[in-house]
Structure 1
Amino acid sequence: MLSLLDINSCHLRIGHSSRDRATTFTPTMHITPDPRASADDNNTLRGEEKASALQAYEKAAFKQDPSTLTEKNAITADVQPGDVEPVSVEQDGDTIRETDYTPAEYKTLLKKIDRFLLPLMWFCYGIQQTDKTALGTQAIFGLREDTNLVGQQYSWLTTIFYITYLCGEFPSNFLLQRWAIGRSLSIYMLCWGICVICIAAAQNWSHLMALRGLQGFFECTISPGFLMIVSTWYRREEHSARALFWQSANAGFGIIASLVMYGIANHALHHESGIAAWRCISLFLGSCTIVLALICFVLLGSPKEVRWLSKEEKRMAAARIVRNKAGRDVTGIKWSWDQTGEAFIDPQLYFCMFNAFLSSVPNGGLTTFANIMLNSFGFTELQVILIEIPRSVGLYTRKVPNRRMYVMAASCIPPFVGLLGMAFLPNTPAYRWTKWGMYFMSVPYVLALFLAWTLIPSNVAGRTKKTLISSATFLGYCVGNMCGSQIFKSEDAPRYIPGTTGASGLLCLAELEAGEIGEEQWGWEREQERLGRELGERNVTDLQNPHFRYTM
C-alpha cells in the first residue's frame, strides 16, 4: 500500500504490505512527473494549488499500464486508485507531514503529552465534579437546617445550577473557540472556586441560589473544553481512553475528597463550637479549585499554547494528529454558517442530545438525593461518606475498538434493576446492605453518558460543527439533570418511589436507543471505509469529507 507521496521530487516512496520490502523507484515515461518538481521549484504553490497538483500527479501515476511494469519503473501492481495517502498540513508557512517523524519519536512525544495533560485534567475534572455534587454530602451535615430550607428549595439548588450551566454553554463554547483554551479554562476555574468558598458564608436559600447559579455558569466550560483539548492533542483511536481517564476522576477523585470530607466532618462533629462541617467542606473544596486554576494557567492549553514543548515538539504534535482529518489546532477561527446548517441536519446531534438527557435524569436525582437516601437506609452521616466508594471504567472500549455503542447499551441494564430495587425494597435496617448493593448497581449509567461525549471528537469534524454538537449534548445533559432533581419530591421521602421508577424507565429507553444506533452506525462504518486524509486539513466537516471514518 502506498504510504507516502513525496511531492518535492519526481520520486515515489513505496511502503508495501508486510510481505514486500519498502523500495524507492524512479518513474519513467509511463508516469507523468510530479508537477511540483518543475512548477514549484521556488515553493510558489500553496493551499488549493498544491492540492490540485498533488491530485493530478496521483491520477497520472495510476494511468500506468501494469503490463509494462519493470523493476525500474514499477510502483506496485497492487496499488489501486485511492490508495495514496498524502498526509500533510500547513502551519505557520511550514508543510508538516505525518511521515516527517518516526513511530519511536511519536511514542516518546505521546508519553510526554500524557505526563503533563492527563494528571492535570484528572484533578481538574475531579474537583469540578466534587464541587458540583458536594451539596448532597453537605445536606446531611446541616446545610438544610442551618439555611432553613423547606419543601423543594433543596431540589432547586441543583436545578438552578443546571439552568445557568445551560445558559452559559453556548457563549462559553464560542469563547473557547476564539481565545486561548488553556487560559480561558483557568479563569473560569478561578471564578467557580471563589463561588464555592463563598457558599460557606451563605445564610439562607437566596444566598445559596445566587452562588449555585454563578457556580453552574462558570463550571459549564470544563467538559467541552477538555474534549477540545483531547481532539487537538490525540489521534482518534486515543480519544476514548484519554477522555475516560479524566472522566474517571468523577469517581477516582471522589476517593480523596470523601476521605478528606470524612476527616473534616468527624472533627466538626466533635467540636460543635467551631465552624459547621458543611461550611468547612466548602472552604476546602474552593481552595483546592483555586490552586488548580493557577496551575492550569501555566500548564494547560493546545499544542501551540503550552510552554513545556519545544518548537520541534510542537511541530511533531501537529504532525501526529494529521490523520484525524478533523481540522487543525487553530484559535481565532471564524464561525462557519455552512457547518452550522449541517450540524442541525446531522443525526449525531440528536442522538447525543437525547442520550445525554436520558442518562442525566438519574444523575440529577442521585447526585442530589443519594446521600439522603443512604442515610434513610439506617447508615450514620459519617458512614454514608465511607460507603460512597468511587468507581471507574474505560479500559474495555480501548481494547475492543468500535464497540462503544454496545457498551453504552449494556451499561444501562444494571442501573435499571438497581433503581427498581431501591424503590420497592423495604426501608428497614434489615435491608440496608441489600439496598446499598442496589444503589451500586445504579452506578454504570454514567458510562453511557461519558462514552457519548467521547464520540464527538472521534466522529465530528469542523470546529464550528463540533462546537454545536458539543453544546447540544450538554443541553440534553443540563435538562436531564434539572428534571432529575425535580422528580424527587420532598413528600416522597425517604424512598422516593416515583422518582426512582421514573429514572429507571428512562434508562431503559437509553439502552434501546444506543443498541439500535449501534447497529445502524456499524453498517454505515463498513460502507464508508475509504482512504484519503488531506480533506480534513481544509476545515471541512465529516459529512463533506467522503473519506471520514466513524468510530463506535
Structure 2
Amino acid sequence: MADDKQSPAPATAVGTADVITPVQETTDRPQPVNTQADKAAKFIAEHGEVTFDYEEEKRVLKRVDMRILPLILGAYFFQQLDKSALSYVSIFGIMEDANLKSLEYSWLGSILYIAQLIFQPLAAFLLVKLPTGKVIGVAIICWGTCAAVMAACTDFKSLLALRFFLGSFEAMIAPSCLAVTQMWWRRSEQTLRASYWTSMNGVTFIVGSLVTYGLGHIVSTKIYRYQTIFIFCGCLTVIFGVIFIIFMPDSPMEAKYLNERERIIAVERLRANQMGVASRQWKWDHIKETLTDIKTLLWFILIVAISIPSGGISAFGNLIIKDFGYSNFNAILFSMPTGAVQVFMIVGSAWLATRLGRKGVVLTGVACFPTVGTIIMLTVPRTDGGNKGVLLLGYYLVQCFAAITPMIFAWSAQNTGGDTKKKTSSAVMFMGMCTGNIIGPLLYNTKDAPMYRPGLIANLIMFVLVGALGLLIPMYLLLLNNKHSKRRVELGKQAVIIDESMMKRTGMEDSKTIELEQNEHAQRSVEDDNGLNDLPDLQNEDFIYVY
C-alpha cells in the first residue's frame, strides 16, 4: 500500500474516512462495547455515531491543528533547547570553568541519554495509564527546573547528576509527542505533523544560537556565562510547562474546547487508522508482540544507526566548526544555518515521502547527503585555517541526517496498532535513539581535534547502513501485507481493501468505488470494527502496512 498517496475525491461526499464514508446517526440506546476495546469505541457507543461532511471535518481538523500542534511544537522545542544548551556553552569556557576533562565533557552528553534509556519503559507505562496532557506538562516543568538548577553546578559530578535528572524527565517528551500525533491525526496526516514538531531541532539551532550569542556577551565577575544560559533556558521552559497543562487536552474524547459533536467527529475520523485512540489499559499480549515483532527490531537497528552520528555531532558540532578556524562567536553564527538546513530537510523530505508514497526510498535518498558531507570532512585538508568554505559545506550536508530520525518515528508509528503496543513500540524506538546518542559522543574526543577522524569514520559507516535498511524494510512490509491479505480471504473478507486512512479528501476518480466503500462501511458497527477494538497490528487482518 502506498504511503500517504493522494487520490482525487468529490467535495460533496460525507463520512468518517478519506474515502468519505457516511455513518448513520443513531438515536438508539447506547450499545454495550467490549470491555477490552479502545476508549474511543466506548465514547462513540455512549454518544452515538454522526453523519458529517468534508467541510465540517475540515473545520474540526483546523481546530485540532490550531490547539494541539503549537503545544507539541513548543514542548519539543524546549526539550531540545535545554538538552542542547551544553553544546551552546561548550565554546564559552565551561570546560575550564567547571574543570572538565576531555572525556568528562563527552560523558555529560551521554549521561542524558542513559537516563532516557532507563526511564523509557516507565514513560510508556505512564502514557498508557495516565492522562497524556497532564503527564507531559508535569514532565516539562520538572526538566525545566533541572535545566535552571544546573546553573548552580560548577564541577563534573554536579553537572553529571543534573544532566541525568534532565534526561529522566525528558524521556517522556519524544514518545508522548508521537503518541499525541497518533491520537489526534489520521495516518495520512501524521507524516507532516511529525515533521513539524521534529523540525524544532532546527529551530532550536537558530534560536539557541541567537540566545547564546546575546547572553555570551554578558560578562560578570559573579556568574559564569554558561550559568546565565542555563538559567534563561530553564525558566522559560517552566513557564511553558504551566501553559501546557492549562491548554492541552488528554485525548479527543476529553477535549473541552471542542463541543460534543466536534469531539465525536474528531474520534470518528480516526477509525480508519486501525490503530485505536486511547485505551488506558495495559495489555501484556501487546508487549509480547512488540518484543517478537521483526519490523520493530529492524526499526530499532535503524534508529540506533542514525542516532550514533546524531549524538556525536550534536555534542561536538560547535567545537567542530570552531576547529575549522573560526572564533567562538563566529562558530555560533555559522552554526545557525545548520538549523535552517535541518528544518528544510525535515519538512521537505516529509512532503516528498507524502507525495511519492514511499518513506523507505526517500530515507535512503536523504542518507546520501550526510554520507557525502562526511567524506568531504574526512578528505579535505585543514591547513592554516584554509578550505573553511568547503569544510563548512560538508558540515551542512551532514546536518541533513536530521530528516531521517523523524521519518523513522513516523514510519514506525504508522505501522503499529493497539494502544499498549503503540506506546511500548515507541519506547523501544526511543531506547534505540538513546542507545545511539549514548554511543555517539563517546566516539569523539577533544584530543582528536581538529579532524575528529574516529568519530567521522564511525558516522560514515552508520549513514551507509541507514541507506541500505531504507531499501530492505519495505520488502518485509510487503510480505506482511500479503500475509494479512491471505488471512482476510480465510475469514471470508475481501483480499484487497482500500486503506482509507492514507488517502486524501481531494476526491476519487471512480465514483463507484466511493459507493462501494460507503455501503461496506455503513454496515460496520463500532463493535465489529477492528479499528477501535485495540488490536495489535499483527493480530488485525484489516491493518495495512505502509512503505
Pick the structure with greater CA Rg.
Answer: 1
User: Where do residues 471-550 of structure 1 align in structure 2 (5 Å cutoff)?
Assistant: 471-522=427-478, 525=481, 528=485, 529-531=496-498, 534-550=529-545
Query: SS of 1:185's equivalent?
Result: helix
Residue 317 (structure 1) aligned to one of 234, 258, 266: 266
In the TM superposition, residue 342 of structure 1 has moved relative to its aligned partner by 1.6
Query: SS of 1:100's equivalent?
Result: coil
The letter for the 2-side match of 1:468 is T
Is 2:30–2:47's contact at 8 Å kept on the other side of the alignment?
no
Relative contact order (C-alpha < 8 Å, sep 6+): which is higher?
2
Cα distance, 1:104–1:424 mapped onto 2, change above 3 Å: same
Correspondence 1:415 to 2:363: no
Query: SS of 1:275's equivalent?
Result: coil
1:270-321 alpha-carbon deviations (Å, 9 max, x no partner): x353532211111111011111101110112322333322222222211121
Q: What CA distance in whole angstroms lies between the structure 2 residues aligned with 1:135 and 1:229? A: 28
Query: SS of 1:308's equivalent?
Result: coil
Query: SS of 2:458's equivalent?
Result: helix
Cα distance, 1:216–1:41 mapped onto 2, change above 3 Å: closer
Which residue number in structure 1 is paired with residue 139 of structure 2?
188
What's the % identity of the aligned pairs? 28
Q: What CA distance in whole angstroms lies between the structure 1 residues aligned with 2:148 and 2:447? A: 31
Is 1:407–1:448's contact at 8 Å kept on the other side of the alignment?
no
Is 2:413–2:426's contact at 8 Å kept on the other side of the alignment?
no
In the TM superposition, residue 219 of structure 1 has moved relative to its aligned partner by 0.3
Q: What CA distance in whole angstroms lies between the structure 2 residues aligned with 1:264 and 1:199? A: 16
More helix, by proportion: 2
User: Where do residues 96-245 of structure 1 align in structure 2 (5 Å cutoff)?
Assistant: 96-97=48-49, 100-245=51-196
The two structures, once aligned, show a CA RMSD in angstroms of 2.6
Query: SS of 2:197's equivalent?
Result: helix
In the TM superposition, residue 225 of structure 1 has moved relative to its aligned partner by 0.3
Aligned residues: 477
TM-score normalized with structure 2 length: 0.82
Which residue number in structure 2 is paired with residue 378 of structure 1?
325
Query: SS of 2:42's equivalent?
Result: strand
Is 2:296–2:412's contact at 8 Å kept on the other side of the alignment?
no
Is 2:79–2:170's contact at 8 Å kept on the other side of the alignment?
yes
Q: What CA distance in whole angstroms lies between the structure 1 residues aligned with 2:445 and 2:41? A: 55
Correspondence 1:298 to 2:246: yes
Q: What CA distance in whole angstroms lies between the structure 2 residues aligned with 1:44 and 1:369? A: 59
Q: What CA distance in whole angstroms lies between the structure 2 residues aligned with 1:156 and 1:133? A: 14
Cα distance, 1:500–1:41 mapped onto 2, change above 3 Å: closer
Is 1:192–1:219's contact at 8 Å kept on the other side of the alignment?
yes
Q: What CA distance in whole angstroms lies between the structure 1 residues aligned with 2:210 and 2:446? A: 29
Q: What CA distance in whole angstroms lies between the structure 1 residues aligned with 2:350 and 2:373? A: 24
In the TM superposition, residue 95 of structure 1 has moved relative to its aligned partner by 5.5
Which residue number in structure 2 is paired with residue 83 of structure 1?
none
Which residue number in structure 1 is paired with residue 512 of structure 2?
none
In the TM superposition, residue 167 of structure 1 has moved relative to its aligned partner by 0.6
Structure 1 unaligned spans of 5+: 1-16, 23-35, 52-87
Which residue number in structure 2 is paired with residue 394 of structure 1?
347
Q: What CA distance in whole angstroms lies between the structure 1 residues aligned with 2:87 and 2:33? A: 55
In the TM superposition, residue 478 of structure 1 has moved relative to its aligned partner by 0.8
Q: What CA distance in whole angstroms lies between the structure 2 residues aligned with 1:311 and 1:115? A: 18
Query: SS of 2:387's equivalent?
Result: helix
Correspondence 1:341 to 2:312: no
Cα distance, 1:310–1:350 mapped onto 2, change above 3 Å: same
Cα distance, 1:44–1:240 mapped onto 2, change above 3 Å: closer
Q: What CA distance in whole angstroms lies between the structure 1 residues aligned with 2:537 and 2:459? A: 34
Is 1:123–1:253's contact at 8 Å kept on the other side of the alignment?
no
Query: SS of 1:258's equivalent?
Result: helix
Correspondence 1:350 to 2:297: yes
In the TM superposition, residue 362 of structure 1 has moved relative to its aligned partner by 0.4
In the TM superposition, residue 245 of structure 1 has moved relative to its aligned partner by 0.7
Correspondence 1:46 to 2:5: no
1:126-173 alpha-carbon deviations (Å, 9 max, x no partner): 111121112111110011100000131000001111111111111111
Correspondence 1:443 to 2:443: no
1:448-477 alpha-carbon deviations (Å, 9 max, x no partner): 211110123311111111122111111111
Q: What CA distance in whole angstroms lies between the structure 2 residues aligned with 1:42 and 1:189? A: 44
Is 1:143–1:278's contact at 8 Å kept on the other side of the alignment?
yes
The letter for the 2-side match of 1:476 is G
Structure 2 unaligned spans of 5+: 1-7, 14-23, 486-495, 499-520
Which residue number in structure 2 is paired with residue 551 of structure 1?
546
The letter for the 2-side match of 1:540 is L
